[in-house]
A = this chain, B = another copy of it.
């Protein structure tokens, strides 16, 4: 196990009928901006409940944050925050709304040069303050509700950013608020959470036994209760387990003290930016192909993954590993996710352009060991056709 720091001060408010507690979670004198995406937050009554819980506080609204939130859209929210002297941001939505709100929290405190929030990769954003924010999760997937990360689209590219300044003060995880989601968004969320775990787990073996077993526990829970949630909207107990898995997948805990890969995400971000494919789906296309290509590199952990997560005890090491990768792909397929690029009309030419774009972005040495070059990215994509 490597040395690590672990710090996560977000308060989680988990379970049914918790929206009425917002009154205790947000300062009494706060002027609150509620940020959301499409109209479902209004249509299904969530916004009305939030306003009722916030009592006499002045509450403003900013809707229309799109999936893969755009820099320009968010700057409009920043203007509103400044003009109205808002002092608390409340994100109501999934990863895009939460990530966008984190950006707004930072940008509202910068007089200019909002771009500088974006161009730091995984180094902390070089700013010193942010507005406080809270989250109400309506789409479990990204873990943004309990971490320091965001991803914003700027000039048709996706840029990640991170700083402890954007830890949400609290996040409400009420499974009832996710019941109106379309099935395919549940599927995307399951795939996204699953692959968040994989990026931190399926690396080199480092004898970090607690982290490994926590990761395996999350994967097994997603394998068991993901499909139940996908198939049966009424199974609240399965949905709770899926939600808590998704949050736990990217709150820093399983990644503390271990190497992290994130190749699948780096390639996936480019696919979303170029072709508009939903984030979770891009990951599910890339991962099986990436694991087949990196079988030798990840051999020991793949074997552990096969035995502990997929319970494969028979066969040679090679057979176990192949079985685990096949089962992973079948798992995504069982959620209605097609794991072939041809389904999205992506062929040789598009793959070449994607790899060229990654080169332009400087994404030339991916993975936990920095040896996943663009030649290998090309191979991975070709075998995912």
Mask, A11-46, CB within 8 Å of B = 1, is 111111110000000000000000000000000000
Return the chain B residue nearest A171 by Cβ. Answer: B6
Q: Are B5 and A12 in contact (CB under 8 A)?
A: yes
Shortest A367–chain B CB gap in Å is 23
Shortest CB distance A161–B (Å)? 21
A48 within 8 A of B: no
Q: A221-B210, A237-B207 are in contact. Are A6 and B2 (CB under 8 A)?
A: no
A85 contacts partner chain B, Cβ-Cβ < 8 Å:
no
Alpha-carbon gap, A361 to B18, bound state (A): 36
**A154 at interface by CB-CB < 8 Å:** no
The secondary structure that dominates the A interface is: mixed
A257: chain B residues at CB < 8 Å are: 14-15, 244
Is residue A159 contacting chain B, with contact meaning CB distance below 8 A?
A: no
User: What are the residues of chain B within 8 A of A11 when measuring CB–CB?
Assistant: 5-7
Residue pair A14, B217 in contact (C-beta under 8 Å):
no
Flag A233-245 by CB within 8 Å of B: 1 or 0 each. Answer: 0000100110011
Decide yes or no whether A248 CB sits under 8 A from chain B: yes
List, in ascending order, chain B residues with CB within 8 A of A2's CB. 15
Residues A221 and B209 in contact in the complex (CB < 8 Å), given A14-B256, A14-B257: yes
* Interface core residue of A13, A209, A237 (most chain B CB under 10 Å): A209
State how many angstroms separate the Cβ of A5 from the closest Cβ of chain B.
6
**Chain A interface, number of residues (Cβ within 8 angstroms):** 41
User: Is B241 a contact partner of A209 (Cβ separation < 8 A)?
Assistant: yes
Judge if A127 is at the interface, Cβ distance under 8 Å: no
A214 at the interface (CB under 8 A from B): yes
In the bound complex, how far is the Cα of B211 from the Cα of A241, in angstroms?
9
Known: A14-B257, A15-B4. A225 touches B244 (CB 8 A): no
User: In whole angstroms, how far apart are the Cα atoms of A17 and B221 in the complex?
Assistant: 36
Contacts of A248 in B (CB 8 A): 210
Asked if A114 is an interface residue, CB under 8 A from chain B, the answer is no
Asked if A342 CB lies within 8 Å of chain B CBs, one says no
A350 CB within 8 Å of chain B: no
Q: Which residues of B contact A17 (CB under 8 A)?
A: 3
- Whether B245 pairs with A210 at a CB distance below 8 angstroms is yes
Inter-chain contact A5/B1, CB cutoff 8 Å: no
Answer whether residue A276 sits at the interface, using C-beta atoms and an 8 A cutoff.
no
Tell me the nearest residue of chain B to A10, going by C-beta: B7
One digit per residue, 1 when the CB lies within 8 angstroms of any chain B CB and 0 when it does not, for chain A 323-354 equals: 00000000000000000000000000000000
A199 within 8 A of B: no
Give chain B nearest CB distance to A21 CB in angstroms: 9
Whether the Cβ atoms of A244 and B8 lie closer than 8 Å is no
Check if B5 sits within 8 Å of A208, measured CB to CB: no
A9 at the interface (CB under 8 A from B): yes
CB of A216 closer than 8 Å to a CB of B: yes
Q: Are B210 and A244 in contact (CB under 8 A)?
A: yes
Binding site for B on A (CB under 8 A): 1-18, 207-210, 212-214, 216-218, 220-221, 224-225, 237, 240-241, 244-245, 248, 253, 256-257
Q: Enumerate 15 A-B pairs (CB-CB under 8 Å) in ascending A order.
A: A1-B244, A3-B18, A5-B14, A7-B11, A12-B256, A14-B256, A207-B237, A209-B220, A209-B224, A209-B241, A210-B217, A212-B217, A214-B214, A216-B217, A253-B253
**Given pairs A1-B240, A4-B12, A7-B9, 17 additional interface contacts (CB within 8 A):** A1-B237, A4-B15, A5-B12, A5-B13, A6-B11, A8-B9, A207-B241, A208-B241, A209-B241, A209-B245, A210-B221, A210-B248, A213-B213, A213-B214, A213-B216, A213-B218, A214-B217
- Which 4 A-B pairs rank lowest in CB-CB distance, beginning with the nearest? A3-B15, A213-B217, A9-B9, A7-B11
